[in-house]
Copies of this chain bind each other. A is one copy, B any other.
């Protein structure tokens, strides 16, 4: 398979290489006649532009780097990621960008990969699929003034001019807490993800705010954080159900974690929603398949990815432009894990005080 270059096409079409190049980029300064001629030659010889040569001459790779979180963590297997990637990839494909995927088993590995991507000019821009406090990757990208967008939001206040796509996680958590309060729940537990993640912080603040607005003091016993998705959910339930006064409702950071929570609850023969209400976040594909199907907040994962790609490419094309911040709307998906607190249940939980 001798590779056919622009020169071969030029020779076949009896024009100069530069002309062929112009035809490829569909320059208006070339006559229709020669365009035809050249295109025919390309067809016949089976010509395809060499990407690396192009990137080198152009100083542009037409590919965007996608940085996943630490793959050692089980979070990595969250169906959240295929879905964001689907969103990213749709937009990228429309604008003819490719995807370079970066994963790493540790913070250090991820950081190294990112450095290689930017220093080696492997990508034109980067999307961070996670956002956590004090992230050296984000800091680095920012210092280098390299185009990037983050899904979530920067935590550090000094990173003002960072483009990001996020949900209003504060509001979502607040609403969800209010919803449980309206259903008569007073003992509402909060099971958060890793406290380093900005989303966890935002969730917690929304939860706090709702309680305070209702004139209640957050009870620290009811607030637990867990890094690991399934195990975390299960451990959280053990802790919470060992309390003298058990919660009658729980807010869980992630649908997958909710599976763990429900699994443990069913082992303890605590029934959802009769004995306890649960409300979760994300609405990944399988979340409607829990037994019973979980009530959760749809955060529109696909759009997060799609818009992140959109904003990134915009930024690549207009390096001067100001940072954009975008909020994707969320939506409460009422299913079957929440119900008005029963008087018996209230009595039971109060008895144990």
Contact = CB atoms under 8 A, between A and B. Distances in A.
Nearest to A266: B291
Contacts of A136: none
A235 interface: no
Given A99-B100, A259-B290, A286-B286, 13 more contacts: A51-B116, A52-B61, A56-B56, A63-B100, A66-B101, A77-B86, A85-B103, A93-B104, A100-B100, A101-B101, A259-B289, A263-B289, A266-B291
A90 interface: yes
28 contacts: A48-B115, A48-B116, A51-B120, A66-B101, A74-B285, A76-B82, A76-B86, A78-B79, A79-B79, A79-B82, A85-B103, A89-B101, A89-B103, A90-B105, A93-B105, A93-B109, A99-B102, A100-B101, A229-B285, A230-B288, A230-B289, A256-B286, A256-B289, A262-B291, A263-B291, A263-B293, A266-B291, A291-B291
Contacts of A329: none
Interface string A115-133: 1100111100000000000
B86 A121 contact: no
Nearest to A109: B93
A82 B78 contact: yes
Contacts of A66: 101
Interface of A: 1, 3, 48-53, 55-56, 61, 63, 66, 71, 74, 76-79, 81-83, 85-86, 89-90, 93, 98-105, 109, 113, 115-116, 119-122, 144-145, 229-230, 256, 259-260, 262-263, 266, 284-286, 288-293
A22 to B, nearest CB: 19
A55 B120 CA distance: 11
Contacts of A53: 56
Nearest to A92: B103
A105 B3 CA distance: 29
Contacts of A293: 263
A83 B82 CA distance: 11
Count of chain copies: 2
Contacts of A291: 262-263, 266, 290-291
Given A89-B71, A230-B288, A52 B55 contact: yes
Contacts of A3: 121
Contacts of A86: 71, 76-77, 103
B99 A103 contact: yes
A81 B71 CA distance: 13
A83 B116 CA distance: 24
